[in-house]
Amino acid sequence: MSQPLLELADLGFAWPGQAELLDIPRFRLERGETLFLKGPSGSGKTTLLGLLGGVQTPGRGSIRLLGEQLERMSAGRRDHFRVDHIGYIFQQFNLLPFLSVRENVELPCRFSRLRADRARQRHGSVGQAATMLLEHLGLPAGLLGRRADALSIGQQQRVAAARALIGQPELVIADEPTSALDADAREAFLHLLFAECRAAGASLLFVSHDQSLAGLFDRSLSLTELNRATKPVEI
């Protein structure tokens, strides 16, 4: 069996003074796979995403991304590794309101030489990479110089997706990014996101409560089934 992009083994995590929140014996995300992860509030989804990004470290077990074990890295090394190899789309998008659309999309390339180099190799320049991604995601070119806080929710969502995808990170993590959109807009956005992930060769881990979207993905998992911890707490 080929090496997966992401693999968890005997993963355990507990917040100080609390019962174990996550107990995941095994999990794999294949290269190029799109995975829908569902789970109720308090089941540990946000904590799991923090572990996958190296923001927290597990109490036991391993998190292996691209063959590297995150829990063995220093905090600084995890930060660099995350920006090089992971793109995030947050529920609230987390755009910097005082920057332009283009500047928001280009931000990862300011912190990651690897992603900046990949953007230049694929598109000729970081600026052209931002322009092409936004165009493919359906944002008019005339909006690229506008402040991010002047955009509609749907437009901000596309900017957040372009920022996550620029520089071809191997893993894109999307945390409830479609919760503010209606059903038609959600599905249309997902088809665009899938196309850009395929073009970049990225795997997609998509976290959502909206079970109606699950059939669009290669695979669907429930965190409550994956997690052996019996008493999840609200995080």
Instruction: Give a yes or no: residue 217 inside a domain.
Output: yes
234: which 2 tokens?
């609200």
Distance between CA atoms of residues 68 and 65, nearest Å: 5
Q: What pLDDT score was predicted for residue 184?
A: 81
For residue 195, the tally of other CB atoms under 10 A from its CB is 12
10 has a pLDDT exceeding 70:
yes
For residue 31, the tally of other CB atoms under 10 A from its CB is 15
103 has a pLDDT exceeding 90:
yes
From residue 114, alpha-carbon distances to 74, 80, 117, 190 in Å are 19, 10, 5, 26
The interaxial angle of helices 75-85 and 113-123, nearest 10 deg, is 10
Q: What pLDDT score was predicted for residue 187?
A: 85
Instruction: Give a yes or no: residue 16 inside a domain.
Output: yes
Distance between CA atoms of residues 104 and 106, nearest Å: 6
pLDDT-based confidence at residue 230 (cuts at 50, 70, 90): low
199 has a pLDDT exceeding 80:
yes
Instruction: Give a yes or no: residue 85 inside a domain.
Output: yes
Strand pairing category for 68-69 and 34-38? unpaired
Domain holding 204, by residue range, is 6-226
185: which 2 tokens?
């807009």
203 has a pLDDT exceeding 70:
yes
Q: What pLDDT score was predicted for residue 42?
A: 77
Higher-confidence position of 177 and 108: 108
232 has a pLDDT exceeding 50:
no
For residue 61, the domain's CATH number is 3.40.50.300
Instruction: Give a yes or no: residue 156 inside a domain.
Output: yes
235 has a pLDDT exceeding 80:
no
Distance between CA atoms of residues 224 and 231, nearest Å: 10
Give me the chain's average pLDDT, please: 91
Instruction: Give a yes or no: residue 142 inside a domain.
Output: yes
Question: What percentage of residues in the chain have a pLDDT greater than 90?
Answer: 71
Q: What pLDDT score was predicted for residue 233?
A: 45
Distance between CA atoms of residues 20 and 78, nearest Å: 23
Q: What is the pTM of this model?
A: 0.91
77 has a pLDDT exceeding 80:
yes
Instruction: Give a yes or no: residue 232 inside a domain.
Output: no
Q: What pLDDT score was predicted for residue 87?
A: 96
Q: Are the beta carbons of 102 and 78 closer than 8 angstroms?
A: no
How many residues make up the chain in this entry? 235
How many structural domains are present in the chain?
1
Instruction: Give a yes or no: residue 234 inside a domain.
Output: no
Interval 124-142 mean pLDDT = 92
| pLDDT, tens digit, 9 for 90 and up, residues 15-66 | 999 999 999 999 999 999 999 999 877 788 889 999 998 889 999 999 999 9
Instruction: Give a yes or no: residue 1 inside a domain.
Output: no
